[in-house]
Amino acid sequence: MAGLELRGVRKDFGSVAVLKGIDLSIRDGEFVVFVGPSGCGKSTLLRVIAGLEAATAGNIHIDGAEVTRTAASDRGLAMVFQSYALYPHMSVHQNMSFALENMGVPKAEIARRVDRAARMLRLTDYLHRKPGALSGGQRQRVAIGRAIVRDPKIFLFDEPLSNLDAELRVATRKELAALHAEIGGTMIYVTHDQVEAMTLADRIVVLNGGRIEQTGTPLDLYNRPANLFVAGFIGSPRMNLLPADAVRLSLGEATTVGIRPEHVQPCGEADADLTVQVDLVEQLGGETFLYTTGPNDLKVTIRIDGQSALGRGDRLPVRLRREHLHFFDAAGLACRPDTIPARSHA
Ligand SMILES: Nc1ncnc2c1ncn2[C@@H]1O[C@H](COP(=O)(O)OP(=O)(O)O)[C@@H](O)[C@H]1O
Ligand SMILES: [Mg+2]
């Protein structure tokens, strides 16, 4: 397994700049997730790392050796795609062993690797089947198995769970996490789904418009988003982003105050920062989301533990928990005012 270094990586398609200068170091054994909205350049970055696209500028090192102009087949990486890309006429066993046979790996070694991968992925009983006789989840596990048997320096995953239904996605996500714990390989995983990113990653790289917005552990990004984009992208329901003057928390250079839905607390009138009116209640059983409107048409989302008897039209005094406020300046960058008023009332 190996680490990866990207320095000033750019990719243009004709006159369109898709990657605008990516600098990133990934440690040996790390599980890194690239997350960002559709079209931000995640797949392009992965394909440039894989060698399936040539970088327009910058350089790439794997395990300390420059590979910027090395052919994909010589980089020692294995990629798993959303569309499993299995050979339909081959059995599961053949799908997994095919590349190794082409590489001239001895038969006994192939058998050992395929058996081990099949065991890890619970495919042992399906080795003789053709992909057409497998469920979507099993097919994706075969695609992952095909990557494992190659014993790659780095695993690259491009939205591998997107074609699975919700339940299977969660189950396969857990299997991937267990797999990483077991084989300890360097893994780079692309998704547009921030829940997948939060649950799988040692470290998340948030991409937007061909640039890295922020890199950090899932909780770093959740607790200390560096800018408005990351604040809004990580976390569901989204962080409330309120004009600072509207909540009378206008402080220094801060123009926007952010607060997550779980940090807006129902309270008595006397302690309230604002009173909101409930527009919509989502009861999830273990938690409840309230979508509300405050003064000046402020939209405020509130997360409550457990169940709530509140309904549409109810008035609710709430306080904004001071220790959980986020502040952003006019450029959208996180900032930290010197003092935070105890009360937001004028
Ligand atoms: N081969 C290509 N030729 C031209 N434009 C491309 C090509 N591949 C990707 N793009 C463009 O690059 C941008 C990023 O694409 P992509 O990396 O697939 O985004 P993501 O995976 O984040 O959804 C998109 O605007 C896409 O249209
Ligand atoms: Mg993509």
Between residues 4 and 244, the one the model is more confident about: 4
Pocket probe mutation, ligand 1, options 10, 35, 44, 206, max atoms within 8 Å of Cβ: 44
Q: What is the pLDDT of residue 162?
A: 87
262 class by beta-carbon count within 10 Å (0-12 exposed, 13-18 middle, 19+ buried): middle
CA of 234 to the centre of ligand 2 (A): 18
Ligand number nearest CA of 36 is 1
Regarding the beta carbon of 18 and ligand 1, being less than 6 Å apart is answered yes
* Mean pLDDT score, 9-29: 97
Judgement on whether residues 198 and 252 belong to the same structural domain of the protein: no
CA of 296 to the centre of ligand 1 (A): 40
pLDDT in tens, 278-334: 999 999 999 999 999 999 899 999 999 999 999 999 999 999 998 999 999 999 999
Ligand number nearest CA of 210 is 1
Q: What is the pLDDT of residue 164?
A: 83
Q: What is the pLDDT of residue 314?
A: 98
Ligand number nearest CA of 16 is 1
Q: Is the pLDDT at 167 greater than 90, yes or no?
A: no
CB 123 within 8 A of CB 92: yes
pLDDT-derived band at 83, boundaries 50, 70, 90: confident
The structure's pTM equals: 0.92
CA distance 333 to 327: 8
Residues composing the chain: 346
Judgement on whether residues 15 and 67 belong to the same structural domain of the protein: yes
State which ligand 1 atom lies nearest to the alpha carbon of 47.
17
| Protein residue closest via CA to atom 9 of ligand 1 | 44
CB 194 within 8 A of CB 213: no
Q: Is the pLDDT at 61 greater than 60, yes or no?
A: yes
For residue 277, which of 292, 298, 297, 260 has the smallest C-alpha distance?
Answer: 292
In the chain, the amino acid numbered 293 is: T
* Mean pLDDT score, 233-248: 90
Judgement on whether residues 269 and 136 belong to the same structural domain of the protein: no
Q: What is the pLDDT of residue 259?
A: 97
CA distance 272 to 267: 6
CB 48 within 8 A of CB 56: no
Judgement on whether residues 209 and 264 belong to the same structural domain of the protein: no
Judgement on whether residues 44 and 129 belong to the same structural domain of the protein: yes
Q: Is the pLDDT at 346 greater than 90, yes or no?
A: no
In a domain? residue 341: no
Q: Is the pLDDT at 216 greater than 50, yes or no?
A: yes
CA of 13 to the centre of ligand 1 (A): 8
In a domain? residue 58: yes
| Distances from the Cα of 210 to the Cα of 9, 12, 82, 100, angstroms | 10, 10, 21, 35
Judgement on whether residues 220 and 244 belong to the same structural domain of the protein: no
For the domain that residue 157 is a member of, what is the CATH number? Answer: 3.40.50.300
In a domain? residue 258: yes
Q: Which domain holds residue 197?
A: 4-228
Q: What is the pLDDT of residue 272?
A: 93
In a domain? residue 346: no
* DSSP track, 20-68: EEEEEEE-TT-EEEEE-STTSSHHHHHHHHHTSS--SEEEEEETTEE-T
Judgement on whether residues 258 and 196 belong to the same structural domain of the protein: no
In a domain? residue 234: no
Mean pLDDT check: name the lowest of 42-51, 157-166, 199-208, 326-335.
157-166
pLDDT-derived band at 254, boundaries 50, 70, 90: confident
In a domain? residue 182: yes
Domain count, the chain: 2
In the chain, the amino acid numbered 43 is: S
The number of angstroms, rounded, from the C-alpha of 183 to the middle of its chain's C-alpha atoms is 21
* Mean pLDDT score, 133-139: 90
Pocket probe mutation, ligand 1, options 9, 12, 15, 18, max atoms within 8 Å of Cβ: 18
Q: Is the pLDDT at 16 greater than 50, yes or no?
A: yes
pLDDT in tens, 23-43: 999 999 999 999 999 999 999
CA of 116 to the centre of ligand 2 (A): 30
Q: What is the pLDDT of residue 320?
A: 94
| Protein residue closest via CA to atom 21 of ligand 1 | 43
Instruction: Tell me: cis bond preceding 237? Omega within 30 of 0 counts.
Output: yes
Q: What is the pLDDT of residue 250?
A: 58
Boundary (domain end) residue, out of 228, 254, 277: 228
| Protein residue closest via CA to atom 5 of ligand 1 | 13
Mean pLDDT of the chain: 93
CA distance 120 to 72: 27
pLDDT-derived band at 341, boundaries 50, 70, 90: low
Boundary (domain end) residue, out of 228, 258, 279: 228
The number of angstroms, rounded, from the C-alpha of 243 to the middle of its chain's C-alpha atoms is 28
Judgement on whether residues 48 and 29 belong to the same structural domain of the protein: yes
Mean pLDDT check: name the lowest of 214-218, 250-254, 342-346.
342-346
Regarding the beta carbon of 42 and ligand 1, being less than 6 Å apart is answered yes
State which ligand 1 atom lies nearest to the alpha carbon of 40.
22
CB 265 within 8 A of CB 249: no
State which ligand 1 atom lies nearest to the alpha carbon of 36.
22
Regarding the beta carbon of 38 and ligand 1, being less than 6 Å apart is answered yes
pLDDT in tens, 172-191: 888 889 889 988 899 999 99
Q: Is the pLDDT at 1 greater than 70, yes or no?
A: no
Paired tokens of 35: 């997350």
Boundary (domain end) residue, out of 162, 193, 228: 228
Q: Is the pLDDT at 249 greater than 90, yes or no?
A: no
Judgement on whether residues 213 and 281 belong to the same structural domain of the protein: no
State which ligand 1 atom lies nearest to the alpha carbon of 38.
23
| Protein residue closest via CA to atom 8 of ligand 1 | 44
CA of 176 to the centre of ligand 2 (A): 19
Q: Is the pLDDT at 338 greater than 70, yes or no?
A: no
In a domain? residue 83: yes
Judgement on whether residues 214 and 259 belong to the same structural domain of the protein: no
Regarding the beta carbon of 47 and ligand 1, being less than 6 Å apart is answered no
Between residues 202 and 322, the one the model is more confident about: 202
CA distance 85 to 340: 55
Judgement on whether residues 21 and 135 belong to the same structural domain of the protein: yes
Q: Is the pLDDT at 339 greater than 70, yes or no?
A: no
Judgement on whether residues 219 and 244 belong to the same structural domain of the protein: no
User: 28 Cβ partners below 8 Å, 6+ apart?
Assistant: 1, 2, 3, 63, 186
User: 301 Cβ partners below 8 Å, 6+ apart?
Assistant: 237, 238, 240, 261, 264, 289, 290, 291, 292
State which ligand 1 atom lies nearest to the alpha carbon of 46.
17
In a domain? residue 343: no
Check the CA dihedral 346-231-20-12 and report its sign. Answer: negative
* Mean pLDDT score, 102-112: 94
